[in-house]
Amino acid sequence: MVVARVFGKSSSEAIQRENDRLAALQQLDLLDTPRDEGFERIVRLIKQIFSIDIGIVSLIDGHRQWYKACSGLAADEVSLEDTFCRCVVDCDEPVIVQDATKDARFSKHSAVTGEDHIRFYAGVPLRTKAGHMIGTVCAIDRRPRSFGSRDLAILKELAGAAMDRLELVQSAATDSLTEAMTRRAFKQEADQLISISLRHQHDLSCIVFDIDHFKQVNDRHGHAAGDEVLKAVASICKATLRAGDLFGRIGGEEFAVVLPHVDREGAIAVAEKLRAAIASQPIRGDHGVLHVTASLGSSALSIVSKDIETLLAQADAAMYQAKHGGRNRCVSWSSIHADHAIGARRRVLKAGSILFNDRRSTIDCTVKSIGSESAGISVSNSAGIPSEFILAIKGEAFETNCKVIAQDRQHLEVAFR
């Protein structure tokens, strides 16, 4: 069921600006991409130039601020409602807070009153050449301080350098760490293989997987150990796959494979081969010996799934099912789709709301893909979200009942009811 709903007190102009902002961010397709030394260098420069504790380059979607690079804080992202940068998004211009304890907007903020002890904040928009604000570049300190016009000009220049780096990274075809294809290059090549398969009526399948408990590797052993794990897993996969298969790194610890001339039964066999190879290979380095596993989902070309976005959405849903079922296993989309439709999808980036508890509870989300029967949703934390809820898209006359068909900590695959 789809009905209209009025969202908040935002003007139509502000809603349109937010929609345009998210569309520009979607076009870049850089959310949740791997760490990059160029951005790490920029945040180190921010700290050194201004002699402060924290430097951040971030991208902001419909519900969160995601750190493309961050030095001085342990988190990878924060809910948009909990970040100072929300003010930069709302006013679309730089925000400077010399002493947060004396600023009514932030004096009671948990980052100010809690152990983070934030006192100073300067944030400037990260802006595309077309003028859309897709994120922020921030200088943050645990002591009050002044920030003059020259300082602001320098921070804006660093934001320009970050945007130049974003555009350069977007054009890269190979991930520098793992030598797998980048997400954009992988999708472009996959689209070509799908077109050939459809034209000649060949089978084609897709696998998506990520490394189980990868965050624990980084937390316990450091990012250098995490990088070694990623390189080792990529090497194992390339040694296992055929020369004509596509292999891409589409997220921090998430990879995807396209298998030409392979049907759904063949795909689950390849997925199992990859799973066993990863699980059986010890990874040795300065960190000692690590054993890692992966959860894999597969999907296959069909009358409904004729494009890479739909194949990835189906394989994602199957992968989340594998993770929910205990990890270190493979699940085929064909084994879970009988009760839940997930037809053709288009990739989007839209701000949404999850409504439940008779509409008394609301959780912000980002709708990342959507079709007539289903959607893929990103949240800050899926804990506490019921199996059935109402999904609404902000600024649009869209509201529908949903049932969760697969999930992990930050992702939900839902079928419309």
More confident residue, 6 or 13: 13
> How far is the C-alpha of 37 from the C-alpha of 14, rounded, in Å?
35
pLDDT digits (tens, 9 = 90+) for 207-230: 999 999 999 999 999 989 999 999
pLDDT above 70 as % of the chain: 96
Looking at residue 340, its pLDDT comes to 57
Reported as a pLDDT band with limits 50, 70 and 90, residue 342 is low
Phi, psi values for residue 322, rounded to 5°:
-65, -40
- Token digits of residue 106: 């932030």
How sure is the predictor about 1, in pLDDT bands with cuts at 50, 70 and 90?
very low
Q: Rounded to whole angstroms, what are the CA distances from 300 to 20, 261, 309, 411? A: 33, 10, 12, 21
Element (H, E) at 211: strand 204-211
Which tops the pLDDT comparison, 394 or 266?
A: 266
Domain 1-30+343-417 of CATH type 2.40.10.220: yes
Contact 279, 271 (CB under 8 A): no
Say yes or no: do domains 1-30+343-417 and 35-171 share a fold. Answer: no
Helix H segments across 125-251?
149-171, 183-200, 214-221, 223-240
The residue extents of the domains of the chain are 1-30+343-417, 35-171, 183-335
Find, among 270, 281, 283, the residue nearest to 244 by Cα: 270
pLDDT (tens digit, 9 = 90+) per residue, 106-155?
999 999 999 999 999 999 999 999 999 999 999 999 999 999 999 999 99
Quick check: 77 and 83 in contact, CB under 8 A? no
Question: Per-residue pLDDT averaged across 284-297, rounded?
Answer: 93
The answer to whether residues 408 and 323 touch, using CB atoms and an 8 Å cutoff, is yes
Domain 35-171 in CATH 3.40.50.970 = no
Q: Measure the CA–CA gap between 398 and 80, rounded to whole angstroms.
A: 22
Q: Which of 218, 252, 251, 256 is closest to 237 using CA atoms?
A: 256
Predicted pLDDT of residue 2 = 34
Instruction: Give the integer Cα–Cα distance in Å for 395 and 4.
Output: 10
Shortest CA distance to 237 belongs to which of 286, 193, 191, 294? 294
Identify the bridge partners of residue 377 per DSSP, sorted by sequence position: 367, 412
- Give residue 313's Cα distance to chain centre: 14
- Alpha-carbon distances, residue 226 vs 75, 76, 270, 292, 347 (angstroms): 16, 15, 25, 11, 29
Strand-pair partners of 125: 136
Sheet containing strand 120-127, edge to edge, reads 77-79, 64-71, 54-60, 133-141, 120-127, 95-97
Given this structure, which CATH class describes domain 183-335? Answer: alpha beta
- pTM here is 0.89
Q: What rounded mean pLDDT belongs to the chain?
A: 93
pLDDT bracket for residue 379 (50, 70, 90): very high
Q: Burial of 134 by CB count in 10 Å (0-12 exposed, 13-18 middle, 19+ buried)?
A: buried
**pLDDT of 3 above 70:** no
Tokens 């949703």 belong to residue: 377
For the segment 35-62, what is each residue's pLDDT rounded down to a tens digit?
A: 899 999 999 999 999 999 999 999 999 9
Can you tell me whether residue 414 is helix, strand or coil?
strand
Please tell me the predicted confidence (pLDDT) of residue 346: 84
